[in-house]
Amino acid sequence: MGAEEVTNVIYKFTGKTILVTGASNGIGRDVALAFARAGGTICAADINEKGLNTLVEEISALGVKCYSFQVDLSDSDACVKMAQHFAKKMDRIDILVNNAGLSFPETLVNLDIAHWNLTLNVNLRAPAIITKIIGAKMIEQGGGAIVNVASNAGISGIEEHAAYCASKFGIIGLAKVMAIELGPHNIRVNSVAPTVVLTPMGQQVWSDPKKSDPVKRKIPLGRFAWPAEVSNTILFLASDAAT
């Protein structure tokens, strides 16, 4: 199965507003486009201004609106500013997808502390800050849905991924607390935890069979995931089909 063979399941999000972090590339871009094709209004946040601009153009060509905000999610004040901007600008935010993430493969004994801090700030602290603000708006509006993009690295340890695993184990735990606290307010919280996803970066990082084959042997299907397979799952979890 190739990337071109994976198509998005048809859902309808007309009249819904979706905030996606890390939306300029990879899984986040695929998710934003999938929601847009389903009629949703997109709020896209990312540090990559050029990527955001091309995303806005691509989504606008579909006949739906896309609002962008350039933000460094490693900066807590910037996270607050971005979330407050969209909370005030939009009448509603129906769906939040905490997708943004990064990784610096390195062994624990060679760990760069700056990489540790950056990974935890973007992958774990930012979703907490953003959900604090957007979750409050969802409570006011009477409900919503939140999907966190975790990883198989949040379930099993992976060599040379100490900071990444710590952040993804953390986001799964955080999601459980979100679900407990926000559920009574009609806000559903879920996480997806895919294996390696063949985004352009994923294809580059995992192109060496010596590195990828041992991992694939642990996967029953014997292959990695395509972005649309993750997007389909996120759209389902955010849809009325998953209530």
Q: Which residues pair with 187 in a beta bridge?
A: 144
Decide if 3 contacts 30 (C-beta within 8 A). no
190: alpha, beta or left? (left if phi > 0; alpha if psi -120 to 50): beta
> Concatenated DSSP letters for 126-164?
HHHHHHHHHHHHHHHHT-EEEEEE--GGGTS--TTBHHH
- Residue among 164, 169, 224, 226 flagged as catalytic: 164
Instruction: Respond yes or no: is residue 11 known to be catalytic.
Output: no
Cα distance between residue 243 and residue 226, in whole Å: 25
DSSP designation for 22: S
Active site residues: 164
